[in-house]
Structure 1
Amino acid sequence: MRTGPTLVLPGALHARLQAHLLPNDGLEAAAILLCTRVKFAAGQLKLLCKDVVLVPHDKCSRVEDYIEWPGEYLAEALDQAETDDLSLILIHSHPGGFYEFSHADTKSDQCVIPELFANREPVHQCGTVHGSAIMVPGGAIKARVYDERHQVLPIELVAVYGDVISLFWHDVDQPSYRPLAFSADMRQELSKLTAAVVGYSGTGSLTAEQLARIGFGGLVVVDFDQVEDRNLNRIINSTVADAEAGALKVDVFRRAATAFRPDLEVCCIPGSIATRDAVLAVAQADILFCCVDSEEGRSICDAIACALLLPLFDVGVVIPVRTTEFGQSVILDINGRIDYVQPGGSTLFERKVYTSASLTAEELAKRDPAAHAEQVKAGYMPGSIEQAPSVITVNMQAASMCVQEFIARLYPYRLDGNQGYARTKFGLADSEFEYASEADFDHEATPLLATGLKEPLLGLPSLGVPK
């Protein structure tokens, strides 16, 4: 696990930044990152890159190992940062590949960083940090921040979440090096990351089990429910004793994980993801896995991923059935879906995984269970027509594909790259697999992006600070 600051950039913003800072002319270039600060109770700091000011090349004095640029762009960035109390990261390129801060870089910080603090409104001073960063060919970034006393602190991790998940560690001197998938080096890197699993039932229990065993250093598991007899054929590690005692599902995971991963840091939230405590816990994670079967749960995970710039892996299973004229239930297909949502890209809502109508219908179902039962009877088997469907085989395939999608993003091995796999769907009845790319979905910018833990959380009054 880690305790140092993290800087997060959406993949599309990083690509834009890289094209500007490294234009293949061999000369340095500059830009300014505008970042939302997220500080957690344990003292951890995340900087979420919300926007960037690109300093025009022709306004700078640029050579291979030095750059000067006019202060008007710094003033512009300060103006943009003022309203939302954003932090500024001054970034420039080292086109020669020098992956360290030079003496000139440090000297420049000593002049500029105090000016950044001096030009902020007093109301924004408490807890403010500003910083500097370098980018080398290939897009790797090394960064550092300064507090109000101008004390420097290295950014431990710079994370870029795009088609590929790129992690740049401050203490790694070879930025192009990536661990091999499934290796001991992969486990070592994962030990410094935390994943959140929302929903610990059919697919969620299997997803959490795999994440713990491949090496994640921390897991946040969210589920409000208790174990029942009907869960025993689907929730891994659950027992008859758990069902008889009405044990919390998250406690089943805690007990099992402690037995085979005593070093794993486990945070179990026995509540709905639509609660303040759950959102705050999940916000501390690096990767988000959504394994719920509710529309509201998916909508909250969608919002968390957007506001906190978390890569989101969503998994779902459905078995459509029909009733014959003789009253017999017949399976039409066995379907699974895995969506990878990258920060700043199309959301689950835009992909129609859930809709306004489905959210409304779910809310109505809570108030009229009988009507809901009639609706699900027409076509959704797990948990409806049968109270204990034996679908662990389908859930296991879907959960495994979901975790594997994550591995493919962080430790790329696909021959044709990751661009075409924003969504994977499978149908077992006809043995078909379908894939969709990010370009296949419509997307519009949202003001929620990179807002962090701004109150009310996720823009929802129900998640505001309790009175």
Structure 2
Amino acid sequence: MISASLTLQEQHLNSLRELLLTTDGKERAAYVLCGKAVINTDPWDGQPHQKFISYEVIPVPEDEIVSFSVKHITWKTDSFVRALQVAQAKNLTVAVFHSHPEGLGEFSIQDDTNEADLIQLAQNRNGSGTQILSVILTPDGNLIGRIWVSSQEVIALRMIRVIGEKIRLHYPNRGLGISPPAFQRQALAFGKALNQDLSMLRVGVVGCGGTGSAIAMLLPKMGFRNIALFDKDIVEDTNLNRLHGARQLDADAISPKVEVVAKSLVELGLGVQVRTYQAWIGEADCRDPLKACDVIFCCTDDHTGRLMLNRFAYYYATPIFDMGLAIEVSQGETPNFQALDGRVTVLAPAPGHTCLLCREVINPVAARDEALKRSNPDEYERRKAEAYVIGEGNPSPAVVLFTTEVAIMAMQELVHRLQGFRGEDGTAAHRVRKFHLTTDRKPAAIPNPNCPVCGTAGAQWWGRGDVMPFLNLVE
């Protein structure tokens, strides 16, 4: 049996609140067209999963409402058929949202009857494989959802995520879980719900070097249970000083970083399920695990991988916490720091979340050269010799004190977006910590309107999920 979940862009939920939670206290309805991520095998439970992503909100016209009250709403199906037409043309799925003004947190018998008719209509028009989602919005902001596979088969959504300035999770019995003894004192600081939220999330770590291994070691200690690690490299002598969990024996054995870090996480005894992928993040085998993640930490210095994840965040409405550390020192026996900057950038389809291209974090020329090196190493070496590619220079400085603190910065940003401990204005889409100056800065950036990712030109792809080719990238 499949499982299913829904990701709502925060801007879409705000629109739905305006449409559905009206001052007259009567039920209202609206449609949401959704993209979809098909996950053939979930890395943690081994089952197929469908992740739907909000793409566009469509109101039910007032003149099509037949009757409504605090307990029901009935409307003509004309607008539903129009939504089905658009969904079929664009390979989207229709979700039907309606309010329960009195706060009923479950579907009513009338909902069951009406929605069974709607799925029958949908399948008669768009084909027998057509599905529709149904979601209730209550005045206190709770969301309850399900997916209709047929008029006889309906499946409760495993989770509904709201992604934007904040990250809000909705799932059965949220807040009623009991924190394990290891996390009870954390619950005293943040409340029980955060511990439960973290245990429910599926999280990916791309790059298991100094920053990525630090993030990975924090995850079980914060209460995350489902972790995926992505890195194709091995442990070397030169990274033992900052690679958490690695030993000299691992460097001698030429052990994969993902396996070394995974072993350290499991040995903590905190009940984690770790899945490892010793591969470059752009390889096809990484797509299902990436799509299965609710949150991703990007800790790679690979421009090509960053370029792909930069698009992924917007197509799949998956928050990506991208990290970097820039160290520049003067020449001399005792170097002086000219730059010592840790950075955390949050990528998401939300206002203010400018992509890595527009922030000039990604170097497209370096990305091109990395792709060439991967696909045609001989041609890469030839062009490098002729100075047509950047090539590899001297290694960059790296210090465990600062790679670890950048990881902590990213974890704090995620926790704030889930729990809000910094207050209403505490989020930062882009934070730069200048360690040598002991200052934090939040540099603003305006998206290029023509940016294919975060600009007006790219907005048509926010929430589209699976498209061919993957992320509209040339393969």
TM-score interval (norm. to shorter): 0.7 to 0.9
Alpha-carbon distance change, 255 to 130 in structure 1, aligned in 2, over 3 angstroms: same
Matched pairs, number:
440
Given the alignment of the two structures, is residue 150 of structure 1 paired with residue 149 of structure 2, yes or no?
A: no
TM superposition score normalised by structure 2? 0.85
CA distance, structure 2, for counterparts of residue 9 and residue 138 of structure 1: 17
Partner of 2:442: 435
Whether the 8 Å contact between 1:156 and 1:171 is mirrored in structure 2 is no
Whether the 8 Å contact between 2:30 and 2:96 is mirrored in structure 1 is yes
Aligned counterparts, 1:308-387, within 5 A: 308-323=316-331, 329-344=335-350, 345-360=353-368, 362=370, 367=381, 383-384=395-396
* Identity rate, percent: 27
Displacement of 1:310:
0.5
Partner of 2:10: 11
Instruction: In structure 1, give the amino acid aligned to 2:200.
Output: K
CA distance, structure 2, for counterparts of residue 290 and residue 209 of structure 1: 15
Whether the 8 Å contact between 1:33 and 1:51 is mirrored in structure 2 is yes
Given the alignment of the two structures, is residue 66 of structure 1 paired with residue 72 of structure 2, yes or no?
A: yes
TM superposition score normalised by structure 1? 0.87
Alpha-carbon distance change, 432 to 261 in structure 1, aligned in 2, over 3 angstroms: same
Whether the 8 Å contact between 2:117 and 2:151 is mirrored in structure 1 is no
CA distance, structure 2, for counterparts of residue 328 and residue 374 of structure 1: 28
Partner of 1:455: 468
- CA deviations on 1:296-325 (whole Å, 9 max, x unpaired) are 12111112222222111111101022336x
CA distance, structure 1, for counterparts of residue 221 and residue 172 of structure 2: 26
Alpha-carbon distance change, 164 to 258 in structure 1, aligned in 2, over 3 angstroms: same
**Structure 1: which 5+ runs fail to align?**
378-382, 463-467
Alpha-carbon distance change, 210 to 369 in structure 1, aligned in 2, over 3 angstroms: farther
Displacement of 1:93:
1.0
Instruction: In structure 2, give the amino acid aligned to 1:163.
Output: E
**Structure 2: which 5+ runs fail to align?**
41-46, 177-186, 374-379, 449-453
Partner of 1:465: none
Partner of 2:29: 30
Given the alignment of the two structures, is residue 112 of structure 1 paired with residue 118 of structure 2, yes or no?
A: yes
Displacement of 1:141:
1.4
CA distance, structure 2, for counterparts of residue 71 and residue 98 of structure 1: 24
Alpha-carbon distance change, 10 to 376 in structure 1, aligned in 2, over 3 angstroms: farther
Whether the 8 Å contact between 1:289 and 1:312 is mirrored in structure 2 is yes
CA distance, structure 2, for counterparts of residue 157 and residue 28 of structure 1: 23
Aligned to 1:332, the other structure's residue is in SS state strand
Displacement of 1:56:
3.0
Moved more, 108-117 or 202-211: 108-117
Instruction: In structure 2, give the amino acid aligned to 1:89.
Output: A
Aligned to 2:96, the other structure's residue is in SS state strand
Partner of 1:139: 141
Aligned to 1:283, the other structure's residue is in SS state helix
Given the alignment of the two structures, is residue 220 of structure 1 paired with residue 231 of structure 2, yes or no?
A: no
Instruction: In structure 2, give the amino acid aligned to 1:86.
Output: L
Whether the 8 Å contact between 1:8 and 1:48 is mirrored in structure 2 is yes
Partner of 2:247: 239
Displacement of 1:414:
1.5
Alpha-carbon distance change, 308 to 235 in structure 1, aligned in 2, over 3 angstroms: same
Alpha-carbon distance change, 357 to 232 in structure 1, aligned in 2, over 3 angstroms: same
> Of 426, 444, 461, which residue of structure 1 is paired with 2:455?
444
Alpha-carbon distance change, 149 to 65 in structure 1, aligned in 2, over 3 angstroms: closer
Whether the 8 Å contact between 2:234 and 2:254 is mirrored in structure 1 is yes
> Of 255, 260, 264, which residue of structure 1 is paired with 2:268?
260
Displacement of 1:37:
2.9
CA distance, structure 1, for counterparts of residue 425 and residue 61 of structure 2: 32
Partner of 1:40: 39
- CA deviations on 1:249-276 (whole Å, 9 max, x unpaired) are 0010121111114621111000101111
Whether the 8 Å contact between 2:61 and 2:79 is mirrored in structure 1 is no
Whether the 8 Å contact between 2:326 and 2:341 is mirrored in structure 1 is yes
CA distance, structure 1, for counterparts of residue 157 and residue 189 of structure 2: 25
Displacement of 1:172:
4.4
Instruction: In structure 1, give the amino acid aligned to 2:171.
Output: W
Alpha-carbon distance change, 3 to 199 in structure 1, aligned in 2, over 3 angstroms: farther
